[in-house]
Amino acid sequence: GINAEYGGHCIMFSFLNRILGGSSAHDRLENFASNEDKSYEDDHAFFEEIDRQFPTSKKLGEVVICMKHIAKYYSIPGRTDAVAALKDVNLSKDTEFYPIRRGEFLMLRGPSGGGKTTLLNILGTLDKPSKGEVEILGTPINERSSDSFLASLRLSKIGFVFQTFNLIATMSAFENVELPMTILGRLTEAERKKRAKSF
């Protein structure tokens, strides 16, 4: 798992498909992360070495989410200091906790009020970080990213299943599934309906 501690709380990422198995594997991971003698030509070579030393049940693809020094602060009326929801959260090859790659299945857990929803909102581009940068499929997201740019990214690259579903009440479940594909405008009506039925 990965711990990102802030304000007495902890976010835990469990890499469910990476069964590292006990303290010896943890030691190997720490040794790999602290090995400054090795240099890699590019990210591809770096992740090939990760895959070699820590094999998984399936081949992992390119980096889909990278986070560098993510922080989120909220101002509350009546308080002079800002409330920190996230402080210096990192998932990058320059830290001991590596980026999320295509094919990984992850779980985010932690105490109530620990920042899980805040982090997911930032990763889903529903909110922007106060500091730091997120990269989604190589696209940088930061506090300067425009709403129209983020809306386009969500439409074309990100899927959501909300806890409360957030369905449009006047539409059927099938129509709700089909709607984003209609807005995106890349599929014919027949292709949209076929894809919506597969869900």
pLDDT one-digit tens code per residue, 76-99: 999 999 999 999 999 998 888 889
Rounded Cα distance between 35 and 39, Å, is 9
> Mind listing the pLDDT tens digit for each residue in 10-39?
333 333 333 333 445 556 556 666 665 566
Q: Please identify which residue in the block is written with the tokens 């590292």.
A: 20
Cβ-contact 83, 73 below 8 angstroms: yes
> Mind listing the pLDDT tens digit for each residue in 139-158?
998 888 899 999 999 999 98
Report CA-CA distances (Å) from 180 to 58, 137, 166, 183: 30, 20, 13, 5
Question: Between 1 and 84, where is the model more confident?
Answer: 84
Rounded Cα distance between 67 and 69, Å, is 7
